[in-house]
Structure 1
């Protein structure tokens, strides 16, 4: 069930990268009009979505590896949300110093991190329950 949900989210990301970025900026940044995304961001988001769909369809070890990586990323984001914000602004925006993060986004980042840890742990447990 989780694999289907992850695949659907990958498809949505593939089809609507602009809307994903707009949603992110609406909730994460207090001054979204000040930030200029780097040119490669939307194609990278679309590529990530395609990769997630393909991996979700294939399943097996590749899906397990992706979910392990998701859980590890979630743990890092959960524990170090400020580091994530610094990294995200540097990687995603032309002028990272111009980006002002919404303070409430820290809670959102931690929630997302916790969900990623949960998903990674659940798929790990389910995989090891089968063997």
Structure 2
């Protein structure tokens, strides 16, 4: 299931990188007009989507390594959502104002982090249930 979900997310990132970036801005930031995307952000989102799609299609060890990474990201989002997104936004955007986060965005990231951890644990379980 998580390979299918990951593959679909990857395909969406490949086909609609700019729209997904705008959607994330609308969900997260009260003051998106205070920032401009760095020129490489949209191609980066597309490249990341290609990588995610390929890893999900190939499976095996690349997928296992990817899911370990996803679990790590989930743990960071669960414990340090503000630091995670503020670092990413400093890297991906130019702007002098501080980001004004929408009320439910950071708690939502904690939920996303927990979801990613569950996905990673489920994907890394052995079929016979042993660790």
TM-score by length of 2: 0.92
Aligned 1:87-98 pairs, distance under 5 A? 87-95=87-95, 97-98=97-98
Aligned 1:1-131 pairs, distance under 5 A? 1-95=1-95, 97-126=97-126, 129=129
Determine the C-alpha separation between the residues in 1 that align with 2:111 and 2:123.
Answer: 18
Give the superposition deviation at 1:130. Answer: 8.0
Determine the C-alpha separation between the residues in 2 that align with 1:37 and 1:96.
Answer: 13
TM-score by length of 1: 0.92
Structure 2: any 5+ residue segments left out of the alignment? none
Give the superposition deviation at 1:113. Answer: 0.8
- What are the superposed Cα offsets for residues 14-37 of structure 1, whole Å, 9 maximum, x if unpaired? 100011111101110001121101
Determine the C-alpha separation between the residues in 2 that align with 1:18 and 1:126.
Answer: 37
Instruction: Mark the CA change 1:98 to 1:48 in structure 2 (over 3 Å): closer, same or farther.
Output: same
Secondary structure of 1:100's aligned partner? coil
Determine the C-alpha separation between the residues in 2 that align with 1:92 and 1:100.
Answer: 16
Give the superposition deviation at 1:85. Answer: 2.5
Tell me, yes or no, if the aligned pair for 1:15 and 1:46 is still in contact at 8 Å: yes
Worse-matched range after superposition: 67-76 or 81-90: 81-90
In the alignment of these two chains, the number of paired residues is 131
Structure 1: any 5+ residue segments left out of the alignment? none
Tell me, yes or no, if the aligned pair for 1:31 and 1:100 is still in contact at 8 Å: yes
Worse-matched range after superposition: 81-90 or 9-18: 81-90
- Spell out structure 1 runs of 4+ moving beyond 4 A: none
